[in-house]
Amino acid sequence: MKRQKSFGSEIPTLFIVATPIGNLQEMTPRAIEILKDVDVIACEDTRQTKKLLDNFEIKTKLISHHAHNEKESANGIIELLKDNQNIALVSDAGYPLISDPGYLLVQKVISEGFNVVPISGSSALLNALVASGIVSQPFLFHGFLPTTKKHLRKILREYKHFSHTMIFYVAVHRLRETLEIILENWGERQVSLAREMTKLHEEFIRGQLSDLIEIADELKGEFVLVIEGNPHEKEPDIQEVDITRMVEELIAKGFSASQAIREVAAMTSLSKNAIYDIYTRSLS
């Protein structure tokens, strides 16, 4: 067990600093103070972060920390903390670690005995949720949906019977196709699409999936999709998800598909043909 006192501690600290997602007026006074006071700021794109720092007259040194150098950079940041320096981690916009790099760094910092302190601020998923008009809790946040149809359908099968409100990030060029596949797999649902949040063209579009599909091609910007959970009008067919996962886990261990299907049949009351049908549907 590890206990951390965030205030009044002499232990070097990694601050996780949320930054505006569009509107610079949403930068908090505490975030500005922290970015001025730390020794180094680790960021995804130094050019992008420099624009933010220049706006608030922050002169702190920048270093690069992004998905492609995360492991190497984390080791360097640990050395800075060991040198008694305080570090701030920022992403290009919003909260670090939320569909952005940082998790490996936070894990390593904690394991090395240093402090990790969050500095509150903008969060696209929370903004979209509270303005959606859909029940706000409990909710599930997935992040960006898979870009391939096969993987998207697999995720949708796993979430189909969740009663939680669900939140997804959607790429602009895949909006219509994504909505169509969700409708195909889940049927009609109440949804809210938030785009360009905190920016001049901020918009919330609330209605049904089919309503959004009709106008998807005319929409631009960055999207957060909030979807109501399954009302459980019928019993969830969790068995299909479990059977598919069992087959996939055996294949990952080196079994052929046919061997995995036989093994799962032996472990369950289902026939090999039934398991074959469930598994092949997961591949479509």
Task: State how far Cα 123 lies from the chain centre.
Answer: 11
Question: Quick one: 192 exposed, middle or buried, by C-beta within 10 A (0-12, 13-18, 19+)?
Answer: buried
Q: What CA–CA distance (Å, rounded) separates 189 from 203?
A: 20
Full strand arrangement of the beta sheet holding 115-119:
61-64, 40-43, 87-89, 13-17, 115-119
Task: State how far Cα 102 lies from the chain centre.
Answer: 12
Q: What is the pLDDT of residues 234-255, one digit of tens each?
A: 544 545 557 888 888 888 888 8
Instruction: Count the helices and strands in the chain (H runs, E runs).
Output: 11, 10
Q: What is the pTM of this model?
A: 0.79
Amino acid present at 183: L
Q: What CA–CA distance (Å, rounded) separates 230 from 127?
A: 22
Q: What is the pLDDT of residues 166-213, one digit of tens each?
A: 999 998 888 999 999 999 989 999 999 999 999 999 999 999 999 999
- Tell whether the torsion through CA atoms of 142, 147, 151 and 156 is positive or negative: positive
In the block, residue with structure tokens 């360009």: 196
Q: What CA–CA distance (Å, rounded) separates 22 from 45?
A: 16
Mean pLDDT by 10 residues, the chain (284 residues): 89 96 95 98 95 97 90 94 97 92 94 96 95 95 91 88 93 91 93 95 96 94 94 56 82 88 81 82 71
Q: What CA–CA distance (Å, rounded) separates 263 from 246?
A: 9
